[in-house]
Structure 1
């Protein structure tokens, strides 16, 4: 705790937000005066927090009592002194501290998304491997509205006008929101978030932020903090920022493209590359693992009904698990690079996914591929064929289908645990049932006076 205590004193922190990530990626926890935080050296939360849905509801009683103690006991939350972030937007000097979760015997809580990622990273460590990731986060800026039935609209920029049409890579269009992004960059710098490039994406007021490559756990923490930071910066400028996978009808969806490579821990060399600079067998097996197991773990990369709207035919998202060099029509793209920087870009995860779980799932697929020496399909030249009938590895195209595949996945239960698999599926099924009860504007528009 010495490092954490020194940080709190140096920054003259008066309040500490003690947080964990739930299944959705929502920060849940407690806010404590710094003196109480230091005295208690952690916090306790009820186990049920990790079975809470995005609507704030809980899973049904059968799943609830199967996974949790009947008395709804607390688990222990221990601060990670390497995951401490200043909150620049608060009036009082406040720090956000991400916690790890343990039961009374000191065992990691299996339902915790951060623990899931740490479990996967341990598999790599046992092999002498160090995975490296670099997330790319897409998002939309929108006008504020309290009417959920109204379609989202782009906000008014510095020119006094909202964006119209596609503005991919436009510098001027990105500059429309300079005051917001200046705050975002300042706040990210104050928190030590390693963000790199800002890009205007295809959709109106759709942007992308690239993170510098690094340790997967540290990057997951940074994405977790970044989402909240961007939302706060947007609200300061009277707009909203959303990481929904498909927030606007007939506009491109938002992804969390995930670049990944693996180093030999002893030598620091990229195991995806042979000594002569060619693609290694481990590289090909990693791709084979992604192709075979993403369909079973897809809910960890596409966690809601809205996630699957991004995969509809005719959208910009690749609805396939093909791979190819410099091919953005493939779900698995191999960017041009030097041999030492050879990497794979997984283009399947949505921006709405829980960063801990999406990174864990992608790394796990590649890990299984390498240890089982799986073979990938032939790389695609030109436009990837998105026809399900011609793909060897098909993606589920509905949340129902994806949850059924995950629930039946032996690999998910073996590596991520039966309790986590059961709990995650139960949470998402509860959210799906909640969604089914809502009558949509489409139904009112086309069925009200015609059926």
Structure 2
């Protein structure tokens, strides 16, 4: 399993790295792994982790024994995790020279672990490669800045900016409201540049102290890696300035949710020309079928875009998130927006994923749905003109329970994601949902305690 790490070894020595954070992503997008001295890291050329890490929930629990032993070895054996030399990042906030290296996971025979989110994205990308296509993506990440809160029972509050005051009201695209946190964002940009993250614009979103960072378009695997690293970076920059950054889909009552919008296009591997446009500049059949696939299969894979109970609070009535898979040109009231662009840059923006989604899984699912539409020739519905929020023909499951049931029954998910991955992911999310149902909410205490 050992490979040639000369390039990585040279980089670590050149940057005088003394410690390496060895990372993999679990199903929820949580970075798990080990911290190793550089010499030990190079000697071992990776790490071992229990394969059960990939069936761990956000609460630290595991799936039921019957599913656990169906999907994993009863001896709780190790995975072999090998570093990707193209996924190496400095840790600019560390006190000692430290690197973080994203790893791929294999079994003892060298086979890619099916439950790994990063492996799943690579599997989807290989489908495109086999057809002579290459997907291009550009993610947009929304998040909130909040006051630090040690007690999860208390609602989150907007932070205090440079002016000494909290933000009030909606401040969409406000430069002054963004400048309230200039010192924080200067650190964020400096640290992101040091890590080679392809950040583009920063804007103030609709919610109170809600921001959005856009990534430049590029390869899906690299950008999924970058989102994992950016989330860590943003949280660290916030903590340095005594505030918090959260990527929860709906962290504050009465405020808009946070999304991960994904712009996606497909080019020919040999020529680099967009397969979404005809020679005369019009929309190609492949483009229409890509949209058709997104419309047909997003409802069956929705938990990969909305993986938590909180994710579905974005989809409640009277929110700014579209709860449909309608499509339209220059239309933000539908789930699938086609921005105005020249033929080479023709793309569709999937507006349904939450900021809380695992980036590997959200990108894999979005590209897979479009791919399936392209190879199956799925025709889309008619484009929506005007307001699309109320369109009910192509609505989505409105609860996590309903969405998990749809995914569990999906032949497409089993075919492309694999039965093992589908069963494992659904099982993890069901355990999390059962844990959620055990918690008594403040709403219940407020309205039922002395009333019923």
Question: Distance between the aligned counterparts of 2:216 and 2:150, measured in 1?
Answer: 36
Q: CA RMSD in A?
A: 0.6
Question: How far 1:394 sits from its partner (Å)?
Answer: 2.5
Question: How far 1:164 sits from its partner (Å)?
Answer: 0.6
Question: How far 1:327 sits from its partner (Å)?
Answer: 0.2
TM-score by length of 1: 0.99
Report the counterpart of residue 428 of structure 1 in structure 2.
429
**Counterparts of residues 177-196 of structure 1 (less than 5 Å):** 177-196=181-200
Report the counterpart of residue 148 of structure 1 in structure 2.
152
Report the counterpart of residue 406 of structure 1 in structure 2.
407
Total equivalences in the alignment: 448
Question: How far 1:193 sits from its partner (Å)?
Answer: 0.2
Which runs of 5 or more residues in structure 1 are unaligned?
Answer: none
Once superposed, which parts of structure 1, at least 4 consecutive aligned residues long, lie more than 3 Å away?
none
Asked whether 1:277 is paired with 2:278, we answer no
Question: Distance between the aligned counterparts of 1:337 and 1:387, measured in 2?
Answer: 25
Tell me the alpha carbon deviations over residues 252-306 of structure 1, each in whole angstroms, 9 at most, x when there is no partner: 0000000000000011000000000000000000000000000000000000000
**Counterparts of residues 4-403 of structure 1 (less than 5 Å):** 4-388=8-392, 391=393, 393-403=394-404
Asked whether 1:416 is paired with 2:417, we answer yes
Question: How far 1:364 sits from its partner (Å)?
Answer: 0.2
Report the counterpart of residue 446 of structure 1 in structure 2.
447
TM-score by length of 2: 0.99
Question: How far 1:385 sits from its partner (Å)?
Answer: 4.7
3-state SS, counterpart of residue 310 of structure 1? helix
Question: Distance between the aligned counterparts of 1:182 and 1:395, measured in 2?
Answer: 39
3-state SS, counterpart of residue 315 of structure 2? coil
Question: Distance between the aligned counterparts of 1:368 and 1:196, measured in 2?
Answer: 30
Question: How far 1:62 sits from its partner (Å)?
Answer: 1.2
Question: Distance between the aligned counterparts of 1:385 and 1:301, measured in 2?
Answer: 19
Question: How far 1:182 sits from its partner (Å)?
Answer: 0.1
Tell me the alpha carbon deviations over residues 339-388 of structure 1, each in whole angstroms, 9 at most, x when there is no partner: 11000000000000000000000000000000001100000100015243
Question: How far 1:6 sits from its partner (Å)?
Answer: 1.2
Question: Distance between the aligned counterparts of 1:293 and 1:330, measured in 2?
Answer: 16
